[in-house]
Amino acid sequence: MATKRLAVITGSNKGIGYGIARVLSKSFQGDVLATARDPKRGEAAIAELKTEGHEAKFFQLDITDLESIARLANYIKTEYGGLDILVNNAGIAYKSASTAPFSEQAAVSVKCNFNGTLNVCRQLFPLLRPHARVVNLSSMTSVNALHHCSNSLQQQFTDPKITMPQLEKLMDQFIKDTADGVHESNGWPSTAYGVSKIGVSVMSFILQRELDQQGKEDIVVNACCPGYVDTDMTSHKGPKTIDQGADTPAYLALLPPDITTPRGEYVTERKVEPWI
């Protein structure tokens, strides 16, 4: 069985994901596997990295497709026997000018950003080796969205004992409430992206708790905000470069063994931040 170390970054053909791939290609002692939905764009990103003197491999991945995730899991198991770094960067955001119904934005955003990330974790976590690091890219909008939730929803999302089924139920309720046109009266903010990223943040806290309960050896999960970055997703309005946006996620991916903090936290600018 191959034992070469492996880092996987989802959604890494451009933007912050590309920046993370660039950092890990320089700093991680092992192979870097960059993924993207579009093989042509993914291979082009690998070629661009190579022109900069960085080596990475490409694997096609659509995080909204369970079979696609399963193919990645099988490849990792067969070729590497395990996984050392997982950066869940892939995600979507509707533009503020989008004319798509809010119910559609809610369903699509949650399916990709929350359910897609959770499904990647569920299929790849069995492959995590001791001292593995998992980084889930959340957003400052998750904090803002949480502050605009009703007190009842805030209490549920910040309950230190919240379970994954309870979190999934809340995210499903958001989708249902938007479809029924009652999300605001039921205490939800009108930001599909923000609510989906609440899910990513809380998911990260739960995953760390579950790993600890299972007695896993020094596997660390953190959520982070990369900041407001100049990318297609922000319509290039962010002041940060992709390298600046990649800094905190890469820092978390490369945390040394037996770190006590940050661990199961929400991190921005390399600092643990209160999430409420």
pLDDT at 221: 98
- Per run of 10 residues, the mean pLDDT along the chain (length 276 residues) is 85 92 96 96 94 95 98 98 98 92 98 98 98 96 96 97 98 98 98 97 98 95 82 64 91 97 97 87
Vertex 233, ends 174 and 123: CA angle to 5°? 60
pLDDT in tens, 40-61: 999 999 999 999 999 999 999 9
List the domain boundaries for the chain: 6-272
The C-alpha atoms of residue 150 and residue 64 are separated, in whole angstroms, by: 29
- Write down the pLDDT at residue 230: 55
Q: What is the pLDDT of residues 162-210, one digit of tens each?
A: 999 999 999 999 999 999 999 999 999 999 999 999 999 999 999 999 9
- 41-63 burial: b if 16+ Cβ within 10 Å, else e: ebeebbeebeeeebebebbebbb
Catalytic site residues?
193
DSSP string, 110-135: IIIIIIIHHHHHHHHGGGEEEEEEEE
Q: How far apart are CA 224 and CA 20, in angstroms?
A: 13
Sign of CA dihedral 103, 184, 118, 230: positive
pTM, rounded to two decimals: 0.95
CATH number attached to the domain at 6-272: 3.40.50.720
| Both tokens assigned to 217 | 């050896």
In this predicted structure, what is the pLDDT of residue 236?
Answer: 66
Tokens of 81: 């026997």
Please tell me the predicted confidence (pLDDT) of residue 235.
63
